[in-house]
Each structure stands twice: as C-alpha cells, then as structure tokens.
C-alpha cells in the first residue's frame, strides 16, 4: 500500500517537474499575478481546488476528456494568464476566478495523464490522492523557488515588473501562442 502512495506521489510530481513544462509555465504565470505570498497562496489554492475537482470527476469516469480539446485549452489558459501579467489586471478576485476556471481545465489534462498509466484500477481513491499530492508538492517547489530566488530578492526593486515580470510573461505568452496553434493543428 505505501509503495502505491509513493509511486503515485512521484508520478504526480514528475508530471509537473520535469515533464510538465506547460504546467510549470502556468504556475509561473499565476505566481507573477501578485508579488505577495498571501495572494500567491490564494491563487494557487484556487487552482488546486479546481484541478482536484475535475481530476477526481474525470478519473472516476464522470467527465469525459478529449485531448484534442483539452490540450489547446491548457495552452490557451497559459497565454491568458501570462497576458494578465502583461496588462496588469488589478482585480485579484477576477484573477482568482480565471485561475479557478483554468484549474478545471488543467485537472482534465492531469486526468488524461493519470488514466494513460492504467494505474487507477486498484486503490482508486488512494492513487488519486497520492497523484494529486505529488502535483501539489511540485507546485510548492516551483512557488518556493520563485519566492526565494526572485521575489524575495527583487520584488521591492522599482524595476521588478519591467525587468522580470514583463519579460518572463512575454516569453511565456509567446510559447503559449505557439503551443495553442500547434495543438489545434495536431487535433
């Protein structure tokens, strides 16, 4: 039983770090929506709740997933979140709603990845919780790395937004445009 917990936790972690480059870029975009740890935690919590809902519903078979639809939507969600950083959407409640909605979409992507392993057949609930735990640990790793190496060091600088947030968000937006087009054409 503990081997399954460890296996699924590691699978969830690896789904984000190192294999979930799209998820990493989404978390970075969410992170840059604010430079206060409290707001960042709220946004990531909204994302976690949302993707947990659809991950569970989809993995249980209540919601069908189609990669041809979900994958372009995931790329588009990264684009929209990065653009929020560029145009500086000031309303945190609006950002929370957007992050929650996109979390629902990302949860469907997680479910597709988890279903492909075929590992949900035994100990469904334990496997699902362990996988989600791994995803959350990976998200925390990304958030803490960003906080320690970027925000804590530079957020108080007058040039923080112009030299860090805007360029990084612009690169993420460009990658997301490419992925969106690529994934639509691949469908």
Q: Check if the beta carbon of residue 140 is closer than 8 Å to that of residue 41.
A: no
How many other C-beta atoms lie within 10 A of the C-beta of residue 108? 24
The model carries a pTM of 0.88
Contacts of residue 56, Cβ cutoff 8 Å, sequence gap at least 6:
107, 128
pLDDT per position in the chain (187 positions), as tens? 567 788 889 988 998 999 989 999 999 998 898 767 788 888 888 888 898 898 888 877 888 778 888 999 999 999 999 998 898 765 666 778 888 999 999 888 877 766 666 655 667 778 788 888 898 899 899 999 999 999 889 989 999 999 999 999 999 999 999 999 999 999 7
User: 15 — phi, psi (to 5°)?
Assistant: -65, -25
Structure tokens at 51: 């993707």
Structure tokens at 99: 């992050």
d(CA 57, CA 59) in angstroms, rounded, equals: 6
- The pLDDT score that the predictor gives to residue 1 is 58
Q: Where are the beta strands (DSSP E) in the chain?
A: none
């Amino acid at each position: 039983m503990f081997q399954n917990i460890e296996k699924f936790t590691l699978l969830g972690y690896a789904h984000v770090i190192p294999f979930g480059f799209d998820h990493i870029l989404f978390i970075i975009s969410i992170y840059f929506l604010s430079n206060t740890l409290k707001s960042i935690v709220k946004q990531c919590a909204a994302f976690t709740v949302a993707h947990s809902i659809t991950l569970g519903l989809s993995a249980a078979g209540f919601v069908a997933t189609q990669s041809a639809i979900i994958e372009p939507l995931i790329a588009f969600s990264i684009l929209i979140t990065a653009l929020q950083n560029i145009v500086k959407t000031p309303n945190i409640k609006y950002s929370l709603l957007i992050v929650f909605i996109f979390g629902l979409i990302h949860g469907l992507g997680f479910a597709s990845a988890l279903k492909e392993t075929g590992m949900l057949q035994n100990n469904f609930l334990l496997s699902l919780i362990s996988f989600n735990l791994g995803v959350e640990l990976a998200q925390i790793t990304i958030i803490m790395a960003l906080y320690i190496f970027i925000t804590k060091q530079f957020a108080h600088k007058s040039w923080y937004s112009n030299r860090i947030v805007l360029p990084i968000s612009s690169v993420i937006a460009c990658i997301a445009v490419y992925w969106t087009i690529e994934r639509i054409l691949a469908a």
